[in-house]
Structure 1
Amino acid sequence: MNWEAIKAIYLFEMMRMKRTLLQSVISPVITTSLYFIVFGTAIGSRINEVGGVSYGAFITPGLIMLTLLSQCISNGAIGIYFPKFTGTVYEILSAPVSMVEIVIGYVGAAASKGLIIGLIILATAAFFVDLRIEHPFLMLLFMVLTAITFSMFGFIIGIWADNFEQLNLVPMLVVPPLTFLGGSFYSIDMLPPFWAAVSHLNPVLYLVSGFRWSFYEISDVNPLISLGMIAVFLTIGFCLLQWIFRTGYRLRK
């Protein structure tokens, strides 16, 4: 394993976060704080409790997951797209660096950025709601696995994208609706039976539900099923990356 190559890629990508601090960190924290103010205060004043916890506390895991998914996918996609855009990706591909080492460097950096922002938002939430975390280890496990998995999917999107419109398609137009409809702001028990059944087709439901269970031991699906779904997503992402590097899909022209 070429650890120096992994370190070089990782540190280069992490420096991007430092250079774009306003966009990378401050912007998502302010946006999430506004969610707490609008949803937690305005709607929370009309909904006393959900599953035995205050509405503001109930939506906290969903807001963290929304930010984590968006940031990991965006960072993973941008990390590999710009080398493609500038042509420096060919230098990486011709270097004595394996596919695994390239993925660890880029995906590791994207996941680290997402985790940093997720933890900042978790700390910020404590100023707005009374938080309790029943299973801190499980909470961190969910965050780490989700960050790695969706940074990997972001990396795949960055390879697939041919322009900035395609690059922003999934994090801007796909992830937010799936997260909003995945039980982030409500329990699917509140839905009619048909729509509750349809909600189980939304993969984000399993992420939000399992993550919420680590906080309050309340969930819409079994947390073991949630972990299993993350493992499935992780396996799919890795298999897709293997195929991309083996075939050179959109990497070699």
Structure 2
Amino acid sequence: MNWTAIAAIYRFEMARFFRTMMQSFLSPVLSTSLYFVVFGTAIGSRIQEVEGVSYGAFIVPGLIMLSVVMLAISNASFGIYFPKFLGTIYELLSAPVNFIEIVIGYVGAAATKSLFVGIVILITATFFVDIRIEHPFAMAAFLILSCLSFSLLGFIIGIWASNFEQMSLVPQLVVTPLIFLGGTFYSISMLPPVWQTITLFNPVVYLISGFRWSFYGLADVPIVYSLLAILAFTGLCLGIIGWIFKTGWRIRS
């Protein structure tokens, strides 16, 4: 394993993050504050509690996942797309670096950035509501796995995209609706039975449900299903990336 190459890619990507540290720090704080004002206050005045948890506290895990997922995808996709756009990816491909090291460098940096933002949002939420974390190790595991898996998805999108518009196509038209319909601001038990069944086909439900369970012990689906879902998604993304580098699909074009 060429750790020097991994460290070089990682440091390069993290340097871009630190150059915009103020923006990276303030943006999630302001966004989270606005969500609490709009949803926590407006809707929270009508829905006092959800399964024994105040509504403001109930939506915290969903808000963290919303920001973490979107940032992981955008950071990873931009990180690998920009070398394609500039043509510098050929220098990377011709260097004595295998695809595993390339993925670790880019995905590791994107996951680190999104993990940092997730922690910032969690700290920000404590100023608005009382939060308890019943299963801290499970919470950390779900948060890290989410950062990694969606950074892998972003890496795939960055390779697939042929322009900047395509990079935002999947996050905006597919991922964002799935997150909002995946129980971010409500429990699926609040839905009619038919819609509860339909919602179970949304993979994001398992992610948010497992993450919320780590906070309050509440889950819309069994925690084992949530863990298996995130592990299966991570394995699927790794398999796709392996195939991409094996065939050279969209990399050399």
CA-based RMSD: 0.9
| Matching residue's letter, 2:40 | G
Distance 1:22 1:74 in 2: 18
C-alpha displacement at 1:22, in angstroms?
A: 4.2
Q: Secondary structure at the match of 2:146?
A: helix
Residue of structure 1 equivalent to 2:131: 131
Are 1:71 and 2:71 counterparts?
yes
Are 1:42 and 2:42 counterparts?
yes
Are 1:146 and 2:146 counterparts?
yes
Long gaps (5+) in structure 1: none
For residues 155-211 of structure 1, the C-alpha deviation after alignment (integer angstroms, 9 at most, x for no partner) is 000000011110111223322211110001111111111100000011110000000
C-alpha displacement at 1:218, in angstroms?
A: 0.3
Residue of structure 2 equivalent to 1:186: 186
Distance 1:33 1:93 in 2: 43
Residue of structure 2 equivalent to 1:215: 215
Whether contact under 8 Å (2:28, 2:120) holds in the other structure is no
For residues 8-66 of structure 1, the C-alpha deviation after alignment (integer angstroms, 9 at most, x for no partner) is 00010011111223443321221121001110111101111001100000000000000
Residue of structure 2 equivalent to 1:115: 115
Residue of structure 2 equivalent to 1:241: 241
| Matching residue's letter, 2:135 | H
Deviation larger for 15-24 or 48-57: 15-24
Between the two proteins, the alignment pairs up a number of residues equal to 253
Q: Secondary structure at the match of 2:134?
A: coil
| Matching residue's letter, 1:157 | I
Identity of aligned residues (%): 64
Whether contact under 8 Å (2:9, 2:105) holds in the other structure is yes
| Matching residue's letter, 1:142 | F
Are 1:90 and 2:90 counterparts?
yes
Residue of structure 2 equivalent to 1:204: 204
C-alpha displacement at 1:133, in angstroms?
A: 0.2
| Matching residue's letter, 1:162 | S
C-alpha displacement at 1:224, in angstroms?
A: 1.1
Are 1:52 and 2:52 counterparts?
yes
Q: Secondary structure at the match of 1:96?
A: coil
Distance 2:65 2:150 in 1: 11
Deviation larger for 13-22 or 116-125: 13-22
TM-score normalised according to structure 2 size: 0.98
Deviation larger for 14-23 or 27-36: 14-23
| Matching residue's letter, 2:136 | P
Long gaps (5+) in structure 2: none
TM-score normalised according to structure 1 size: 0.98
For residues 75-133 of structure 1, the C-alpha deviation after alignment (integer angstroms, 9 at most, x for no partner) is 01000000000000000000000110000000000000000000000000000111000
Matches within 5 A, 1:145-184: 145-184=145-184
